[in-house]
C-alpha cells in the first residue's frame, strides 16, 4: 500500500512532464502509439486520483463513473477540450486542466505554413517531381496566387488567430477577422485587422483560416452554403478542429471548383482513412494534426499538463483550469 496518488497517463508524453508525474505519483503510462481502446481506458482509470487525457480520449459520465468518486482532476494534454464533457466534470466538482498559451505561436506557424503551401502548391510540386514528371522549367507550370498582398480572413480571433494576423502583416496581407466578440480598437489597430460579419469575410477573403473552438455553435460552421459564398479562387485552411467544416461539402466544393484549395491539419473523421475521397484531390493538402508538434512546444505542453495533474491530486488549484467555477 502507498499513499502516493494514483494516476493514469493516456499516452507517452515528453519527459518535461512525465518525470514530475513519476516523481510525485504512482503512475501507469499507456505505452502504445495508439490511444487505449475504450475498455482499456475505463479499466485503467478505475480508482485513480488523477487522469492525464489526450484529445483522443472521451471524458464523459461513463468515464467519471468508472474512475470513481475519489477522482480529483482531469488534465487534458491540449488547449482544446472538446473531448471532455466539462459540465459533467463540474457537476462532480472535478477541475479540468488544459494547456493554453504555450502552443499559440507554434500552431500559428503551421497555419501559415499550410496557407503558403496550398497557395504555392508545394505538396503538388513535390509529388510532381517525385513522379518523374519534371522535364523542364515551365512558364505555365503549377501557377498559384500570390500570398503577399492577398486578403486573409481569420475566423476566430483568439490567441492563435491573432498570432496568424501578426505573421500575415509581415507578408503585407490585408487582414479581416470574424469573432463572436469584436476585438477592441487598440488591438485592431495594432494588428491592422478589420472586423467583418462572417458572410462578408467569406465573400471577400482570398484565404480563410479557421481558429475557433469546436462547440455546438461551431460544428459544421463551414457548410455547403458558406463554401459556395467563398471566391472560386479561395483557399481554406483548418488548424482548429475537423468538424468545424462539413467534410462532404468541402469535398464537393474542391472537386467542383467552388473554391481553389484546402489545407487541413484537422479532419472529420480523424484520422482520415487513406482511401478517403479528399485524398484523391490534388487541391487538398492534409497533414496529421501536427500544428503544435514542435519539440519545444510539446515539452511545454507536457510540463503544463503535469502541473495541472499534480496540483489536482494534491487538492490545489490547477494553474490553468477550464472550469474555475469548481472553486466556488
Q: Which is nearer to ligand DGY, 213 or 229 (CB)?
A: 213
Query: Is 289 noted as a catalytic residue in this protein?
Result: yes
Residues in Cβ contact with 121 at an 8 Å cutoff, skipping those fewer than 6 apart: 142, 144
Q: Which of 74-82, 151-159, 176-184, 302-310 is the region at the interface with ligand DGY (rule: CB under 6 A)?
A: 74-82
**Are 56 and 77 within 8 A, CB to CB?**
no
Q: How far apart are CA 293 and CA 226, in angstroms?
A: 30
Site for ligand DGY (CB under 6 A): how many residues? Answer: 6
**Are 21 and 4 within 8 A, CB to CB?**
no
Residue reference for cell 475519489: 70
Q: Which is nearer to ligand DGY, 55 or 163 (CB)?
A: 55
C-alpha angle 165-170-172 in degrees, rounded to nearest 5: 90
One symbol per residue from 34 to 73: x for binding ligand DGY (CB under 6 A), - otherwise; what is it?
A: ---------------------x------------------
Query: Is 216 noted as a catalytic residue in this protein?
Result: no
Q: Is 247 helix (H, G, I), strand (E, B) or coil?
A: helix
Query: Burial level of 315, CB count in 10 A (0-12/13-18/19+)?
Result: exposed
Q: Which is nearer to ligand DGY, 49 or 85 (CB)?
A: 85
Q: Which is nearer to ligand DGY, 176 or 301 (CB)?
A: 301
Catalytic residue among 6, 167, 289, 300: 289
> Least distance to ligand DGY from the beta carbon of 239, Å?
8
For residue 11, the tally of other CB atoms under 10 A from its CB is 18
Q: Is 248 helix (H, G, I), strand (E, B) or coil?
A: helix
One symbol per residue from 275 to 314: x for binding ligand DGY (CB under 6 A), - otherwise; what is it?
A: -----------------x----------------------
Binder of ligand DGY out of 79, 168, 263, 322 (CB under 6 A): 79
Residue 26 in grid coordinates: 504512482
Query: Is 196 noted as a catalytic residue in this protein?
Result: no
Binder of ligand DGY out of 5, 36, 80, 161 (CB under 6 A): 80
Beta strand spans in 93-223 (E)? 96-97, 151-155, 174-178, 193-195, 207-210
154 binds ligand DGY (CB under 6 A): no
One symbol per residue from 93 to 132: x for binding ligand DGY (CB under 6 A), - otherwise; what is it?
A: ----------x-----------------------------
Residues in Cβ contact with 254 at an 8 Å cutoff, skipping those fewer than 6 apart: 261, 262, 278, 281, 283, 284
Radius of gyration, alpha carbons of the chain: 22
Instruction: Indicate which residues carry an active-site annotation.
Output: 241, 270, 289
Chain residues binding ligand DGY by CB under 6 A are 55, 78-80, 103, 292
Amino acid at each position: 500500500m502507498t499513499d502516493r496518488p494514483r494516476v493514469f497517463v493516456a499516452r507517452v508524453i515528453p519527459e518535461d512532464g512525465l518525470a514530475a508525474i513519476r516523481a510525485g505519483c504512482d503512475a501507469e503510462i499507456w505505452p502504445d502509439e495508439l490511444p487505449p481502446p475504450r475498455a482499456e481506458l475505463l479499466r485503467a482509470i478505475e480508482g485513480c486520483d488523477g487522469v492525464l487525457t489526450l484529445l483522443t480520449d472521451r471524458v464523459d459520465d461513463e468515464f467519471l463513473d468508472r474512475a470513481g468518486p475519489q477522482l480529483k482532476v482531469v488534465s487534458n494534454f491540449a488547449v482544446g477540450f472538446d473531448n471532455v464533457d466539462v459540465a459533467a466534470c463540474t457537476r462532480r466538482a472535478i477541475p479540468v486542466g488544459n494547456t493554453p498559451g504555450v502552443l499559440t505561436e507554434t500552431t500559428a506557424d503551421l497555419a501559415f505554413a499550410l496557407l503558403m503551401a496550398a497557395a504555392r502548391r508545394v505538396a503538388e510540386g513535390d509529388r510532381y517531381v517525385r513522379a518523374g514528371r519534371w522535364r523542364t522549367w515551365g512558364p505555365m507550370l503549377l501557377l498559384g496566387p500570390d500570398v503577399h498582398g492577398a486578403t486573409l480572413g481569420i475566423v476566430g480571433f483568439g490567441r492563435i488567430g491573432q498570432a496568424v494576423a501578426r505573421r500575415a502583416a509581415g507578408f503585407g496581407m490585408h487582414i479581416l477577422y470574424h469573432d463572436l466578440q469584436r476585438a477592441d480598437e487598440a488591438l485592431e489597430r495594432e494588428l491592422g485587422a478589420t472586423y467583418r460579419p462572417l458572410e462578408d469575410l467569406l465573400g471577400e477573403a482570398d484565404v480563410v483560416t479557421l481558429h475557433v473552438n469546436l462547440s455546438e455553435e461551431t460544428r459544421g460552421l463551414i457548410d455547403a452554403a458558406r463554401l459556395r459564398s467563398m471566391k472560386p479562387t479561395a483557399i481554406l485552411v483548418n488548424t482548429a478542429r475537423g468538424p468545424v467544416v462539413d467534410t462532404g461539402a468541402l469535398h464537393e466544393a474542391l472537386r467542383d471548383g467552388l473554391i481553389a484549395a484546402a489545407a487541413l491539419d484537422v479532419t472529420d473523421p480523424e484520422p482520415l482513412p487513406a482511401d478517403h475521397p479528399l485524398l484523391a484531390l490534388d487541391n487538398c493538402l492534409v497533414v496529421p494534426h501536427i500544428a503544435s508538434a514542435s519539440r519545444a512546444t510539446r515539452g511545454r505542453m507536457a510540463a503544463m499538463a503535469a502541473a495541472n495533474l499534480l496540483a489536482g491530486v494534491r487538492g490545489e488549484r490547477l494553474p490553468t483550469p477550464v472550469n474555475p467555477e469548481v472553486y466556488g
